[in-house]
Amino acid sequence: MQRSAIPLALYLHFPWCVRKCPYCDFNSHALRGEVPEADYVDALLRDLDFELADDPDSRTLSSIFMGGGTPSLFSGQAMGRLLDGLRQRVGFADDIEITLEANPGTVDEAHFRDYRAAGINRLSIGVQSMDAAQLKRLGRIHDPDSVRSAVDTARRAGFDNLNLDLMFALPQQTPDEAERDLMAVLALQPEHLSYYQLTLEPNTEFAARPPSLPVDDDAWTMQTQGWQRLADADYARYEVSAYARSGRQAQHNLNYWRFGDYLGIGAGAHGKRSGSTGIVRRARHKHPKRYLDSAGRAEAIQEQQRIASADLPFEFCMNALRLDEGFAWNTFESRTGLGRDALQPALARAEKRGLLIADDERVRTTPLGQQHLNELLTGFLAD
């Protein structure tokens, strides 16, 4: 594969939150005391130096995503210093997308103004619900008015590219309540919406003490009525849970789903890189203190795995078949180094069952395949 032709993105993880939400399985830790802004920015830059020393092609970054945790606990000044340090180390594409996740309960006008001045040009705001009772059940620290205020403040600060995260099938939620939630978010007119079902993830408080969730039929009603309301409002679905207005798809996430490369730095961050010897995934240590102590050295890496050729069909399809557009054959070949025959006979089996459509240029899921995506993907697992 020609690595220089594969897009490169950067993910930065910020591991602290005001408090841990009961449904969250991301690497996040309740904050005790002050955020160690200066030390953490220094650690991120050291970590990037370590990664770039092993990247001889010097590819430019197509996108940057700052996730968490709650990155918006960091000041605009800290983000500005971080982005200045990144620019000194690696090239930015002229149209680079730089996203920061923000919690409505941790930002104000000064934060957003400083973030925009630092070069951040996209915000992803964790709404989750527009119902005060649901927000309390979900352990969120904001209320619906905080969401409206955050969106208004972001617009005044100059942000014209906003994603809002919204969940459905929440504890005790009815289809009517889910619809009201969605319509309240659509009234805020975001450019992008992530709309997905609450699931009980292992090692979370909700998994240990499950709340009462809607039955499957009600959850399906919420999903299908959501599809219709989003389509009526001119949001096109381009991935399983991602909807955007024209030209506003999340470029960073598209790079994941198209099996691009990405550097992952920060506590618990994951990365994927292509090289002459294959494709390697790396993960940093999750605990913030251990990460701070080891950033910039090999000791910061908790896991490293080279993906076996036999596993690449599943690894690729697990991402690319989430997209409504599916994937082009030349993308599969260039990003895995494999030929088309590597997807046979799994492809033929899925086509026979009506889960996939394939022609000489592209492979994509059918509506039936989207409904049974997990089952479809297991067909590409190595024997």
Domain boundaries, the chain: 3-255, 310-378
> 203 CB contacts (<8 Å, ≥6 apart)?
25
High-pLDDT (> 70) share of the chain, %:
98
Task: Please check the confidence at residue 360 and state whether its pLDDT lies above 90.
Answer: yes
351-377 average pLDDT score: 94
* Helical pair 312-320 and 329-336, crossing angle rounded to 10 deg: 130
Q: Please provide the CATH number assigned to the domain covering 3-255.
A: 3.20.20.70
pLDDT of 279: 94
Q: What is the spatial distance between Cα 373 and Cα 356, in angstroms, rounded to a whole number?
A: 10
Contact 83, 92 (CB under 8 A): no
Give the pLDDT confidence of 139-173 residue by residue, as tens digits: 999 999 999 999 999 999 999 999 999 999 999 99
Element (H, E) at 274: strand 270-275
Q: What's the whole-number mean pLDDT along residues 91-111?
A: 92
Strands 236-239 vs 242-244: parallel, antiparallel or unpaired: antiparallel
The top-level CATH class assigned to 310-378 is: mainly alpha
pTM of the model: 0.95
Q: What is the DSSP string of 43-108?
A: HHHHHHHHHHTT-TT-PPEEEEEEEES-GGGS-HHHHHHHHHHHHHHS-EEEEEEEEEEE-GGG--
pLDDT at 54: 76
Tokens of 110: 């000064």
Q: Which tens digits make up the pLDDT trace of 231-242?
A: 999 999 999 999
* CB-count exposure of residue 327 (10 Å: 0-12, 13-18, 19+): buried
Q: What per-residue confidence (pLDDT) applies to 4?
A: 62
